Each structure stands twice: as C-alpha cells, then as structure tokens.
Amino acid sequence: MVTPTRTWSSAILQTPIPISFSASGDNAIVAAVPGKIIRLYRLLFVVGAATSITFFDGTPGGSALSGPFPFSAGGSMVLDDSGDAWYMTSSGNALVLNSLNAVQVSGTAWYIQQ
C-alpha cells in the first residue's frame, strides 16, 4: 500500500479573498469561472447574529457540500490548512455560503482555482 504524502506547496498558490455579506440565502464567496474547480484550503469567519451556514457547490440550486452549521451571535468558524482541501466545487461552479438569516458574515477564505 502506498501512503500519500502531503506537500505544503499549495499554501504558496492560495489566493486570499475577503468574506463580507449580510444577505440571507446564497452568497458566492468565490466566483465561478468556466472550466475551473475551486478548492477551499483555509477559512475563517464570524457571524454578527444567530444563523446557520451551509456550503454549496454552485448556485442557484447547487449541491450541498456540508450540512447546516448553526451559529449564535458572535459565533465563528476556522478551517485551518491541513494540506488537503476542505471543500471542492464542480468545474465551472462558484463556492457558495448560504446563510439562513440576513446577518453580517465577515472573514477571509484562501482557495485555489484551477
């Protein structure tokens, strides 16, 4: 059996992008590019009030990449770089955060789109 090895070179290629939205529903945090796949490697955000956040592959009606994560006011999420992508979209789809409620969501995501 071959054991896969991780390389940290992906950190060099990651693009940081700010997260800032206050609308309920689908919010594309990384825009779709035809023929490109988005891989999310790191993320941090905080919510201003109670909501649930779900990751989606594309919008509208994209495939759920996670179940809903419930947050109370001031709740936060940190996905640290493990060398493997936390979430990956299909080719040509946006990476979307869906917020159940209209609350401020602020943070940063690091991704590779190729």
Q: Is the pLDDT of residue 45 over 70?
A: yes
Which has more confidence, 11 or 110? Answer: 110
Which distant-in-sequence residues (6+ apart) come within 8 Å of 101 by Cβ? 24, 49, 50, 51, 52
6 pLDDT band (50/70/90 cuts)?
Answer: very low
Q: In this predicted model, what pLDDT tens digit does every residue of 66-96 receive, in sequence order? A: 999 999 999 999 999 998 999 999 999 999 9
Domains in the chain with CATH codes = 16-113 (2.60.120)
Q: What is the mean pLDDT of residues 42-64?
A: 94
Q: What is the mean pLDDT of residues 21-46?
A: 97
11 pLDDT band (50/70/90 cuts)?
Answer: low
Percent of the chain with pLDDT strictly greater than 90 = 83
Q: Is the pLDDT of residue 60 over 80?
A: no
Q: How many residues does the chain have?
A: 114
CB 41 within 8 A of CB 81: yes
CB 29 within 8 A of CB 98: no
- Token pair, residue 41, equals 């490697």
Q: Is the pLDDT of residue 8 over 70?
A: no
Query: pLDDT value at position 62?
Result: 87
Q: Is the pLDDT of residue 15 over 60?
A: yes
